[in-house]
Amino acid sequence: MQMIRIAIDGPGGAGKSTIAKLVGNKLGLEYIDTGAMYRAIGLKLDREGIKPDDIISIRNMLEETAIDFVNGRIILDGVDVSDVIRTQEISKLASIYSQVPEVRSKLIDIQRRIATGKGVIMDGRDIGTNVLTDAELKIFLTADPMVRARRRYDELKAKGVKTILDDIYEEIKDRDYQDMNRKLNPLVQAEDAAMVDTSDMTIDEVVNTIVSMATRVSCRE
């Protein structure tokens, strides 16, 4: 397959990370989890007690922060935080700090650098509309809010995390509103993106759908 870049955008809980990893494995593309980057920044800012409106402290922290991916794991300042950042609390922090222009600018620069000169599949909320605007294939992955809440609930339950489905549902709706209404790079479907609604699809069906799209795009390149 020709070297292509795939941008996957969509709301939280739509399965972007799971699908992107599997598609990347099938197509031999490097997977870049941009959401993990924002979660990692949110984790560090929270640990250091830096508030979203303390721009000077945020700038200073960002200058001293190193984020990288190693074998699909997110490394923050030399420490693997892949598991630590997968909580609802960190998800909320990621949403809050992602609205800070300095944070988005720093991470977008890193994301573009990583994607330069190689085949990648990258998921997030503004990849096709802002980060990789010239990606060869753009997907907008979505699902009904309650379906997404149920998936997140089952995922947390499997990890032994006690939670309430209705709480997750409300959090997802709040996150959707924040993402779609933020001033800086809101969540929208790119004009040239294909929508894939996963509400009634299995993981394999979604993966095969996107792999087929990528194959067709690659053949045209």
| Domains along the chain with CATH numbers | 5-216 (3.40.50.300)
For the beta sheet containing 79-80, the strands, ordered from the edge strand earlier in sequence to the opposite edge, are 67-70, 73-76, 79-80
Cα–Cα dist 86/90, whole Å: 7
> What pLDDT digit, counting tens, does each position of 80-124 carry?
999 999 887 898 888 888 889 999 999 999 999 988 888 999 999
Q: Which residues of the chain carry a pLDDT beneath 70?
A: 1-2, 221
CA dihedral 206, 188, 42, 116 (to 10 degrees): 70
pTM, two decimals, is: 0.86
Q: What is the pLDDT of residue 221?
A: 61
Residues 200, 205, 207, CA angle at the centre, nearest 5°? 125
Rounded to whole angstroms, the Cα distance separating 2 from 219 reads: 8
pLDDT given at position 89: 86
200: left (phi over 0), alpha (psi -120 to 50) or beta: alpha
pLDDT at 88: 77
**List of residues 6+ apart from 7 with CB closer than 8 A:** 122, 123, 127, 128, 131, 132, 135, 137, 138, 139, 190, 193
Please give the pLDDT value at position 91.
84
Buried b (16+ CB within 10 A) or exposed e, 161-175: eeeeeeebbebbeeb
Task: Say if residues 121 and 177 touch (Cβ distance below 8 Å).
Answer: no
Identify the sign of the CA torsion 83, 89, 95, 97. negative
Write down the pLDDT at residue 186: 86
pLDDT at 86: 85
